Structure 1
Amino acid sequence: MTATVAADKVVGTRPVSIPRGYRFELVKLVSQWRIRLLVLACWIAPGVFVAGVGGQSTLPSDTLFGRWMHATGWAGPLVMLGFAGTWALPLLTSLVAGDVFASEDRLGTWRHLLVAVRSPRRIFVAKTLASLTVILLLVAGLAVSSTAGGLASVGGRPLVGLDGHRLASSDTAVRVLLAWAAALAPTLALAAIGLLGSVALGRSPTGLLLPPLVALGMQVAQMLPLPVAVRLALPGYAFISWNGLFTSPAQLAPLLIGVAVSLVWALLATALAYLLFLRRDFTDLAYDGAGRRAFTLGLLPLAGLTALTVAVVAVSTPSTGSGITRDKIQASVATAFAHLYRLQTAQLHRPAVTEARLRSTAACTKSDGQGAQSGAGNDWRCVVTWHLPGVPVPGQAIYQLDVTSDGRFVADGDGPKEVNGYFLVRTPTGDAPNPLWQFDGNVELLDTTSKG
């Protein structure tokens, strides 16, 4: 008879309540030196890093919003969010959720825990909630610390969005908060995968590696020329789609789909971990993983969920192929240029001009017009044309674009030098960064943009 059955039928005893078990598991987690070190690092290191970068002469311009870290403190938490989604959050979920069950196997303490709690179900719930609490504490530390460091070192001046328009400080604060909240969904998905690996693989250290490996696989997939439906069906897409919050109107559809997919993954992986946990034999002291059951109750359902989500997204969204077309790139470049031109005009104290009067347009080609005019690549070239009131000859500027598979692009100015040929502009108050020299943009992979 397994320990599960015996524990559920003990006569004259009652299982320990979930709140009490949760407090016990939480104390066990935070008493570990590595968890305490992680908490301290997440609440201190991001602020120090952002403040330090804000005081340097060079910036991480290859990182989204990195080129604006001297201009506003709100760029700091966004740069940190990009780093966290790629590296920090997968590792944090691995060290917390990926070891919460496996540690009991390594220490051989399952029998003592079952005797004390007298309910495997409540043990699972308590451990899961304790892991979730610690992960939320770590994510909150990353967000709060990086925001505080940025605002303290640079200040809360307006942020320039991915379409070139300026966001007021209050509006930026809301969008930064929403971006970090959206990143919680894929973080929970990775944490649930960590729980599943910790339950299914027993004392094996492979469970610790599962969340980073899954995250790395999703990052590689996002760099490949995959169809839009496949990209949106991966739980890590919400680590990327928060970019859409910083355009006007906000590109909400990809973000909402990414969050929904991540939450479904989190629920399914947690449910699978729960089923595996209840079916294990705690009387087997040589237990070393669920074996074949880990494949049938772990890997196969998640693979089936991926296939199902790809089908649902493909049917429910109108986009096909890469989602990156010439028309989208031209519209995005022209819009961003118009907003940034106004910003440069204000820097140089020239007469103000509106985007409507500029009537900026962009003519873009890929590979000098050879081959398909769509898809990612660093061989896009755009000629931007605009009109100034009272000037009969329109102005033109050239940009070389590097467009990535996820829709983000970097436009690098290629002349004329008076407009975008140099990274600084000479203003009446001294040299200042030239907003038209190089700028980031974002192409929505879906064919419709939410007006919300």
Structure 2
Amino acid sequence: MTAAASPTPTAVSREVSHTPASGRVTVARSYRFEVVKLVAQWRIRLLLLACWIAPALFVAGVSAQSTLPTDTLFGRWMHATGWAGPLVTLGFAGTWALPLLTSVVAGDVFASEDRLGTWRHLLVAVRSPRRIFAAKALAGLTVVLLLVAGLAVSSTVGGLVAVGNRPLVGLDGHLLAPGDAAGTVLLAWACVLAPTLALAGIGLLGSVVLGRSPMGLLLPAIVALAMQLAQMLPLPVPVRLALPGNAFLTWSGLFTGPAQLGPLLIGIVVGLLWGVTATALACVLFLRRDFTNPADDGAARRAVRTAALPLAGLLGVTVAVVAATTTATGSGIERAKVQNALATEFAHLYRAQTGQLHRPAVTEGQLRTAATCTKAGVQDDAHGAGNDWRCVVSWHLPGVAATGSAVYQLDITADGRFVADGDGPKEVNGYFLVRTSAGDAPNPLWQFDGDVDLLSASPDSPAS
């Protein structure tokens, strides 16, 4: 009796086909309705408020402290320029904030209807599962974009108000003028939209497949955590670049000269592919659902067959394509590339220190900077991540016969980022501060961040 009284999917589609065009609820109207429903939720309002206010307060507060987050990319420059603040926020957002935000929004778009039991009412009002899915997906995407925009705008305003519109030191030591820094920071935030959309698509898929189960809400955060753990492993470069969250890390390549665009572009394409694929799978499963059965809110067998296997296949295909179209092998971290990156950055920063101390100006060509690195005692075949890299940087000054040298201990992570910690001499990198005519200032050569391009070809020599 119940089955006979309830409209079947066939009956619903037949009814839609005979409904006059003027009586149909359009996608635009459904979209506005879904946006209002999302924003009406107290937790969404709280997240929007936090994303548009908290980053500014955080950046301004940290910039006013004497201790900076030097273990965070660009954290050591938060006293020097307001453009460091949004980049510190971006690093935190890619690791924690954005996965959690997409979980709360996209992971609950469809599951909330299961918990409330309102699918039949929605189908009667809209009369088209396709329009319902499109409206809900677009509404979730809109809220996610508003959250990302809030993080970017708020952190930028906080940094500029607290510190000012000053030049930013890039990851190879070159100086970005305020205008260039503004454009590059904006581009970096735009690039992380691709992995954010990938997590949002996974959230939609989990919300459709797992229904009212809390696992659907947590799925984007779990996937992001798994990707973070994978990034810590010594994976081959093609596997690393094929992960959908890779652009959360490779945006740093924008702050080198020339920019390391290869890993970033691959990360953006892979992220968009995952976002489109996961959303398409969610749409297929949603349209196949039996809405006449209140207990039908997802099945484990269907999830594995229709969701997990296609995504696993996508990962395999992207790994194969990246491996076939790039020349990098192994970890991508090789001795010659480390030496070249370190020598280039040291030359830029040495010139910055020269300007601080009002020494005679010198160019990179005159310095002829070079670096010699070993890893755990291995020199010729040193490669791979680790905190056991030891490098000696040498340079020449015009009119001075003696060759200058400085020692650095390098900690290189698996994604190519490194921290160079000065180990003498004290006149060059032995102290955190240098005494200038205007007072004490941070020593740019004491400790600095750098980046090794995993896809670049190894230079023939560690030239400057």
Letter in structure 2 aligned against 1:167: L
- Trace 1:35-434 onto structure 2 (pairs within 5 A): 35-369=44-378, 372-434=381-443
- Distance in 1 between the 2:385 and 2:457 partners? 19
The 3-state SS of whatever aligns with 1:38 is helix
**Residues in 1 aligned to 2:378 and 2:392: alpha-carbon distance in whole angstroms:** 13
Question: Shift of the alpha carbon at 1:4?
Answer: 2.9
Q: CA deviation at 1:156?
A: 1.0
Judged with a 3 Å threshold, the aligned counterparts in structure 2 of structure 1 residues 190 and 12 are, in CA distance, closer, same or farther, namely closer
2:14 to 9, 12, 22: 9
CA contact (8 A) 2:335 2:380 kept: no
Cα distance between partner residues in 2 of 1:4 and 1:203: 21
Query: What CA RMSD, in Å, does the superposition of the two structures yield over aligned residues?
Result: 1.2
SS at match of 1:220: helix
* Alpha-carbon separation, structure 1, partners of 2:130 and 2:9: 9
- Residue 12 of structure 1, CA deviation: 3.8
TM-score, normalization by structure 1: 0.98
Alignment CA distance shift 1:279-1:396 (3 Å): same
What CA distance in whole angstroms lies between the structure 2 residues aligned with 1:57 and 1:228?
Answer: 38
Letter in 1 for 2:76: R
Report if the CA contact (8 A) 1:196-1:272 is conserved.
Answer: yes
Cα separation, 2, equivalents of 1:192 and 1:127: 12
In structure 2, distance between residues paired with 1:227 and 1:327: 18
The 3-state SS of whatever aligns with 1:385 is: strand
User: Deviation per CA, 1:274-317, whole angstroms, max 9, x where unpaired?
Assistant: 00000000011122313311111100000000000000000000
- Structure 1 match to 2:461: none
**In the alignment, residue 294 of structure 1 is paired with which amino acid?**
A
SS in 2 for 1:418: helix
Distance in 1, matches of 2:274 and 2:194, equals 9
Superposed displacement of residue 198, structure 1: 0.1
Distance 1:60 1:383 in 2: 26
| SS of aligned partner of 1:329 | helix
Counterpart residue identity of residue 7, structure 1: V
Using the size of structure 2 for normalisation, the TM-score is: 0.95
1:370 shift after superposition: 6.9
More displaced stretch, 204-213 vs 3-12:
3-12
Give the deviation of 1:66 after TM superposition. Answer: 0.1
Q: Aligned equivalents of 2:88 and 2:457: distance in 1?
A: 27
| Counterpart AA for 1:303 | A
Query: Which letter does structure 1 place at the counterpart of 2:137?
Result: T
The 3 A distance-change label for structure 1 pair 132 and 448 is farther
Residue type of the partner of 1:270? T
Cα distance in 1 for residues equivalent to 2:10 and 2:255: 54
Matches within 5 A, 1:432-451: 432-448=441-457
User: How far, CA to CA, are the matches of 1:174 and 1:381 in structure 2?
Assistant: 35
**Cα pair 2:335 2:381 within 8 Å, conserved:** no
2:306 & 2:457 partners in 1: Cα distance?
37
Q: How far apart in 2 are the matches of 1:280 and 1:288?
A: 8
Unaligned runs of at least 5 residues, structure 1: none
Q: Percent identity?
A: 73
TM-superposed deviation, 1:256 = 0.4
Report if the CA contact (8 A) 1:202-1:290 is conserved.
no
**d(CA) in 2 for partners of 1:200, 1:177:** 35
Q: Any gaps of 5 or more consecutive residues in structure 2? A: 459-464
What one-letter code is carried by the residue in structure 2 that aligns with 1:122?
R
SS of residue paired to 2:297: coil
Q: Give 1:165 deviation, angstroms.
A: 0.5
Distance of 2:35 and 2:172 partners within structure 1 = 44
Q: Deviations over 1:413-443 (max 9, x none)?
A: 0000000001000111111000000000000
CA shift, 1:391, in A, is: 0.4
Distance 2:66 2:298 in 1: 52
SS in structure 2 opposite 1:59? coil
TM-aligned CA deviation for residue 117 of structure 1: 0.5
User: What is the alpha-carbon distance in structure 1 between the residues aligned to residue 442 and residue 8 of structure 2?
Assistant: 67
1: CA distance, partners of 2:371 / 2:134: 56
Rounded Cα–Cα distance in structure 1 between residues aligned with 2:334 and 2:246: 20
Question: 1:28: which partner in 2?
Answer: 37
- C-alpha distance in structure 2 between counterparts of 1:73 and 1:6, whole Å: 60
SS at match of 1:60: coil
* 1:131-183 CA-partner distances (Å, limit 9, x unpaired): 00000000000000000000000001100000001001111111101100000
TM-fit CA distance, 1:9: 1.2
1:43 is displaced (CA, Å) by 0.1
Counterpart-to-counterpart distance in 2, 1:230 and 1:387: 41
CA–CA distance in structure 1, aligned partners of residues 380 and 243 of structure 2? 29
Instruction: For 1:178, give the aligned amino acid.
Output: L
Offset, 1:36: 0.3
**1:358-381 alpha-carbon deviations (Å, 9 max, x no partner):** 000000000022794100000000
Partner of 2:211, secondary structure, is coil
| Aligned residue identity for 2:289 | R
Q: Is the 8 A contact 1:4 1:120 kept in 2?
A: no
